[in-house]
């Protein structure tokens, strides 16, 4: 297939540069996933087809001529990872099969074998996956294991199941737990009499070991929930059947409303050790955890999400780590992600992960480091890292002791896809780590109270309705650039010259050779924390106005408009240097028209071009000669 490439459209020059400079297929695919840019997909398609086809052409009609097998595999990886629609997912599976039929897949790296396997399953092409699976020789063992488990699930299809299929699938589902020396799982078979429960809510274990460990300190288990469904009963049941006898269960009703009283009543009636902590207003999981911490009586305190399931040995195994070594401040364990139907596929991810909600902490450690941050998401990761910074490393069992529910629409699921995360998540992580670097390792009592947020700017979406966080009104001045290198005096000067809080907006300069995201440098986050509100991270989803936006690295705008922004800008000033124009300061050459188009598309304004303030007179004169008539 051959078609004329539309070089006249916006972004064509950037696509051309990425095509010719994008020798690393995986770096180009990751750039497409991070930026969600059609321009990068075009570059991948052009590289794969020798300049014949754009992304849309490859999706509609797979190419007959392939110049680079790995670039075509990388294109399929990006297409499936973006997860935009079923048509593109099916197209990705077709491209993988095309490579397989040509004998090209076997020589490609493991990531593409994983991409093919997961995309076939998620596209519902289970028979095709069964055929291909023996040939995906480079699949990581954990990925292969859970693909085989999911293919064995007899409840995915509507047809009559083999009478022994459920038992075989249940046995495979149990393998990760049995290999860890734990009791095998049991999933009650769906029948008309058993009711319309999800498979996840039928989880249990084959052996009843409830309360078999009758000595040991009291463990408080805190379960925050908002508008719960049957998953809460599953969660509490898995705690009620723990082998550890000495426990209490604190169920938090985060202002769910009276229509959920019946679910809470059923949950509390299931175990006399359970009691309710009712919040007057909705504050999110971590505000609720803090309220329960004030009522918890346990020597050890742990947590569980309201729709997850814990193996009956979880509390015992984690408590034993604390009992065996008095110097260990906290413990946690691994979890296996699964959906309501007990399948495990989330494109690009392994089913096995560290379980942030499993954290079990000694009461004196909580008294020392303080409560959870009063934010709506991300505080469990912050809390574990705060323990590491002040009290010592959290120890993991290294074994799966829970199955955590994977659902779309949750606070955490919506913030991540393969190779992509919301900028607010990254900003929050960088800011709290900078705060941790200021903490005294000999801290005896935290200055934080139960309702306190991070003592530094927090993204507005993290404190929605909590009356905290960075002021979301207006920034007189904001700096936009790639801040992945350490602060330089000229850039710090721009911060100090700004009136009022200065916005700091980090976007990566597109680099076709970089596989990992260029995150903002720790030095900038240290400045954010030390500036006491005078320097505030800015994100494209912030609903605020910026009086003057100073663009320090013009290249960061070339791919930015693939994702929407809510930031409103009065004036855009683009700072230029001779190196920008010559292409020496950016991975891609400067595309003046592309930057101008991006300013108009994102902000609705034409940019003003100005020499960078730090330039010498000679450099200013050189710049004026390079771009005659542009500077104002």
The model's pLDDT over 441-459, given as tens digits with 9 standing for 90+, comes to 888 788 787 778 788 899 9
Q: Is the pLDDT of residue 400 over 90?
A: yes
N residues, the chain: 632
178-207: pLDDT as tens digits? 999 999 999 998 875 445 689 999 999 989
Q: What is the model's pTM?
A: 0.93
SS3 category, 442:
coil
SS3 category, 402:
strand
Rounded to a whole number of angstroms, the CA Rg of the chain reads 27
Higher pLDDT, 37 or 22: 37
- Quote the pLDDT of residue 445: 80
219-268: pLDDT as tens digits? 999 999 999 999 999 999 999 999 999 999 999 999 999 999 999 999 99
- Quote the pLDDT of residue 355: 97
d(CA 251, CA 295): 11
DSSP secondary structure letter of residue 213: B
- Quote the pLDDT of residue 629: 86
Which of the four pLDDT bands, split at 50, 70 and 90, describes residue 1? very low
Which of these, 349, 463, 464, lies nearest to 413 by C-alpha position?
A: 349
d(CA 159, CA 600): 55
The DSSP secondary structure of 485-548, one letter per residue, reads S---HHHHHHHHH-SSSEEEEE-PPP-TT--S--PPPHHHHHHHHHTTTSEEEE-TT---EEEE
Q: Is the pLDDT of residue 583 over 80?
A: no
Q: Which residues pair with 325 in a beta bridge?
A: none
- Quote the pLDDT of residue 451: 76
Residue 469 has phi, psi (to 5 degrees) of 95, 180
- Quote the pLDDT of residue 191: 72
CB 469 within 8 A of CB 460: yes
Contacts 24+ apart (CB under 8 A), 424-427: 424/459, 424/461, 424/462, 424/539, 424/541, 425/377, 425/378, 426/517, 426/519, 426/520, 427/459, 427/506, 427/520, 427/537, 427/539
496-547: pLDDT as tens digits? 988 789 999 999 999 999 999 999 999 999 999 999 889 999 999 999 999 9
- Quote the pLDDT of residue 111: 97
CB 298 within 8 A of CB 363: yes
Which of the four pLDDT bands, split at 50, 70 and 90, describes residue 5? low
DSSP secondary structure letter of residue 161: P
* Least confident segment among 472-476, 584-588, 625-629: 584-588
CB 317 within 8 A of CB 333: yes
Q: Is the pLDDT of residue 3 over 60?
A: no
Q: Is the pLDDT of residue 56 over 70?
A: yes
CB 47 within 8 A of CB 21: no
CB 57 within 8 A of CB 3: yes
Mean pLDDT of 619-630: 90
Mean pLDDT of 283-288: 95
Which ranges in 296-335 belong to alpha helices (H)?
A: 314-324
d(CA 595, CA 92): 31
Mean pLDDT of 419-436: 96
101-125: pLDDT as tens digits? 999 999 999 999 999 999 999 999 9
- Quote the pLDDT of residue 453: 77
Q: Is the pLDDT of residue 548 over 60?
A: yes
């Amino acid at each position: 297939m051959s078609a004329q490439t539309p070089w006249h459209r916006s972004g064509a020059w950037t696509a051309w540069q990425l095509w010719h400079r994008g020798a690393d297929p995986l770096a180009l695919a990751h750039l497409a996933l991070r930026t969600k840019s059609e321009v990068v997909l075009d570059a991948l398609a052009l590289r794969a087809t020798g300049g014949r086809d754009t992304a849309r052409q490859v999706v509609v009609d797979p190419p007959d001529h392939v110049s680079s097998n790995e670039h075509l595999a990388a294109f399929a990886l990006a297409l499936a990872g973006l997860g935009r629609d079923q048509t593109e997912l099916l197209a990705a599976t077709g491209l993988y099969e095309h490579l397989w039929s040509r004998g090209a897949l076997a020589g490609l790296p493991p990531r593409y074998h994983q991409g093919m396997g997961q995309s076939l399953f998620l596209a519902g092409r289970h028979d095709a996956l069964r055929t291909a699976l023996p040939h995906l020789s480079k699949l990581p063992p954990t990925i292969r294991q859970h693909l085989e488990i999911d293919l064995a699930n007899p409840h995915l299809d509507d047809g009559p199941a083999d009478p022994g299929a459920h038992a075989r699938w249940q046995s495979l589902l149990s393998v990760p737990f049995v290999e860890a020396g734990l009791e095998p799982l049991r999933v009650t078979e769906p029948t008309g009499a058993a009711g319309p429960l999800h498979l996840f809510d039928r989880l249990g274990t084959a052996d009843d070991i409830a309360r078999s460990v009758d000595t040991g300190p009291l463990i408080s288990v805190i379960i925050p929930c908002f508008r719960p469904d049957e998953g809460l009963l599953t969660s509490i049941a898995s705690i009620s059947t723990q082998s550890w006898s000495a426990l209490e269960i604190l169920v938090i009703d985060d202002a769910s409303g009276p229509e959920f009283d019946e679910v809470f009543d059923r949950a509390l009636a299931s175990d006399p050790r359970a009691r309710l902590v009712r919040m007057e207003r909705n504050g999110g999981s971590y505000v609720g955890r803090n309220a329960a911490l004030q009522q918890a009586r346990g020597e050890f305190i742990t947590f569980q999400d309201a729709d997850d399931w814990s193996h009956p040995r979880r509390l015992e195994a984690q408590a034993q780590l604390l009992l065996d070594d008095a110097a260990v401040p906290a413990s946690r364990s691994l979890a296996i992600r699964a959906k309501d139907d007990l399948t495990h596929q989330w494109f690009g991810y392994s089913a096995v992960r560290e379980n942030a909600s499993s954290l079990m902490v000694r009461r004196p450690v909580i008294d020392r480091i303080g409560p959870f941050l009063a934010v709506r998401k991300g505080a469990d990761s912050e809390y574990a890292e705060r323990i590491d910074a002040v009290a010592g490393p959290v120890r993991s069992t290294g074994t799966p002791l829970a199955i955590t529910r994977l659902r779309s629409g949750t606070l955490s699921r919506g913030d991540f896809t393969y190779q992509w995360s919301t900028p607010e998540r990254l900003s929050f992580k960088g800011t709290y780590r900078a705060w941790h670097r200021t903490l005294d390792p000999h801290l005896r009592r935290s200055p934080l109270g139960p309702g306190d947020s991070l003592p530094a700017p927090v993204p507005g979406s993290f404190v929605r309705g909590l009356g905290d966080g960075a002021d979301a009104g207006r920034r007189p001045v904001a700096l936009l650039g790639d801040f992945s290198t350490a602060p330089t005096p000229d850039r710090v000067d721009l911060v100090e010259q700004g009136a009022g809080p200065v916005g700091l907006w980090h976007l990566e300069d597109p680099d076709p050779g970089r596989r990992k995201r260029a995150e903002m440098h720790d030095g900038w986050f240290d400045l954010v924390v030390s500036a006491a509100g005078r320097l505030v991270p800015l994100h494209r989803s912030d609903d605020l106005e910026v009086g003057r936006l100073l663009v320090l690295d013009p290249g960061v705008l070339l791919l930015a408009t693939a994702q929407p922004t809510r930031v409103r800008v009065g004036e855009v000033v683009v700072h230029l240097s001779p190196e920008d124009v010559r292409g020496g300061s950016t991975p891609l050459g400067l595309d003046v028209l592309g930057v101008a188009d991006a300013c108009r598309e994102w902000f609705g304004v034409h940019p003003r071009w100005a020499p960078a303030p730090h330039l010498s007179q000679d450099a200013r004169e050189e710049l004026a000669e390079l771009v005659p008539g542009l500077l104002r």
